[in-house]
Structure 1
């Protein structure tokens, strides 16, 4: 922890910085930054060093999070050193230090001509990813701060200004850096990423601007990739909390070093396909998970456009649900409390219990857990479900929502809308804005409407609201055209049927799902149950077009999609 004098007030402020401020750094720099900026900047850099006591050490920048891989940008000097010393796979390893933690990384893509390289780490790391989209304009005279990370765990900073000098793609600042800053980040005092520091000469420090970093990174798909196999017998896994660490003994000493390696059991526990070591080594990522975030995390973006009352009501009503078959998770989605039949009940998607590959069959004896707005996990009970219209009700004992959603009102078709989701695993509350649009229905259900809100599987079953918090419909998932939702009018019809007839899942005499849809609304002429496909989790390469739809480099983190 670092303590500094907050500028202009003389108050002692605790900054959440990994490691300690280097004795040679200018501590006044941190006091000129806001608490939030200082915290973010300190988590944006790591130390990168060659293993086994080799001399080269530099800094790296938290670049992006792709599946099970956290990626760091650094100088190509690291790649040159690794390639020159390579005699076996171990020589592709890099010691990554974040504060006092030491993690094993591996050389990924690199471009020697343009002085950039990427290091991949197979672990969840608490880093702040720099934003490369829409790089800030570089104005001569702008005050900047260069960051580095020492092998001792120290976060270092030195300031300067931008000059109007340049050398080809490279720009110049007056920051006085040492060798360990090479590969580190250059920011302005507002926290905007300006580029990667490379080297110092008599004129100042040359850096690669953010726009050029982005330009060359997008070309990495055509550059050489180095695969980095890990000898599985090199690690002895030890359970620590929900993560595995490995005790690695340096062959040249008796010093024991703790490094992070992936918890392979977590995939099976979450109901995902278990990857092989070679798949992880190749940088493959897990897509279509229930942890994939979307839109803006609570407190950011669209949340700032909502009134305090609307935001508060969402917080009090939203829940996340997960169904389990034994200890293995089967499905997960979002739900929300509604007023129904005189009590508070959770409305959600029947995908929570639908058997995979079947339109009209549920998995029996599933255990349901509900993550309440208070973050407490409690048992839920499936009360009713309609697989044809994909609606389910889940009751929760001992919890009463103070302002459950009212599913009845007149709705203006032209209003902006917001889709809300709540991740069961992380507890992240998310929202994406959009508007309704009309187009041919791509799913079977003829009553579906669509919005331009971009959600993930985590948002299935979540509410679609207007900006006054009024309920419009319940969201489902369809990747290609937009987010389908069932309008409040049709949901009311389903809920009314629940009161009179109970759950809808027509079964034939053999106990198998019928090919008939069961109960339908008055104008529904369906002759078979509606299909509600949900994409299955799978592993693919980061370059696969299936995961290149977000337009952002900061997409995945250590196997799970993150903000």
Structure 2
């Protein structure tokens, strides 16, 4: 029998050299993986540093812009107020009328009646009083806010403007008959009178201590010329009265009187209201009779206005409006942007300017490298992620912001699209936009030849544009560039877009230049109701900034050029009509030998064929200040008799 020997492994596993190799490989692997971690960490740090640098750069640019704006504000203020010197001498209010009411020959005790209609108005810069006079309570109209209106002398406006400074912190304090105080807001004025308004923000019923004077009770001037003047002292709240005589031509002479009587009432000895003091010199005063006062207030649109909102609001003839304290530069900005100035109280009570070029729509998209996220809280649109990346790139390099200016005042702002002019074999890049950019503000059927055009492609490229073609009936215009813009991708609008697919309306945000997009569909349109029979409609929601902007499909093909008329749908000029007009213009120029750089336009033709393109005008809105034309209060107030 053969015995099988057992084999014993005497190597004790792997050799020493193999173990050393394994350790070395493990160490190198750990080192390598650690290097990858460090490299990733360094990349993250570098990205964070770059992002931080961009944010710091943008913050510095913002601070520099704010400093430049403050310097411009100071320059404009000093330009308009070159000799503004504010007196350091404190104002001393002078009271009058120490005699009891019975000694000034009133036929009865009229103190309660006079006290209810007379307030004191004081002008302050911080805590320093600059001037004080009186005011007369008048009917307040019908608004959702509880307003109290007072008529006073224009002298208060003169003191306001004289003491205005760059800090712009002047304020009006109204002392009521019960010696309580309210803020006042100086508003409309003319050559003689001014209006101060207070508001009760508690929405309670107006206090019975103040009652408007009855402007419907007209009384003749007394034949014996004996009259009484009333005023209210701001410091003590005391009602002051004095007697006097009429001397003719709206002038009276008094036993005692001071400037505190400015804005105060005149009554006869039977306590019938006669007028309001508007000027005081020595012992004499000039007053505005009741009949003339009512006509002025009617002209101010304070007694019989049938306005339900502020659309188309403009100042009445011979009436001015004070620039509210704290809003001087804001008003100057509105002027430079071509917007209407607000009605009284709208700025002070945070009213809105609607139908502006700066409003946004749809989903926003910032340019590449912008360090902050942008959004539109008013919109739930989700568009940009649905578009192919190359389409978004093409849009960002072809859609520009346009603005036209008459001197330093902006006339219009909208969007434009860089295109290859059809018929020029792609050799000429121009901007397709709306003719509204260059229309005259005085005559819709003419262009304004004095306008300059600014072209902006974010983030920093500006160029001057020149109008070379317009078609007023079709409301389109072609603008050429005086210098090249880098990195553009002009659209070839001859490429046909499918109208059956969903479409996207594109525009540039007027302030920052962000892209805006809203999606929708092309819908049927009744040409009989059209202001241009070849228009079509989409359900995309845009605003005035979208005028002249492109309508594309999701393949990026050009479908048409958008217009805005304030309706729920968006009218647009179809691609085929635009191409036909532009090709026809090229052929006409070639036949006539006219250069492509020379301005040529197609007007509106005869008056019969003129079509006005509707465009909502900017207007101010404040829901609590609009008036109900069906609920105008009568003028009845405190009857002084």
Report the TM-score when normalising by structure 1: 0.48
Q: Which has the higher helix share?
A: 2
- Structure (1 or 2) with the larger CA radius of gyration: 2
Report the TM-score when normalising by structure 2: 0.42
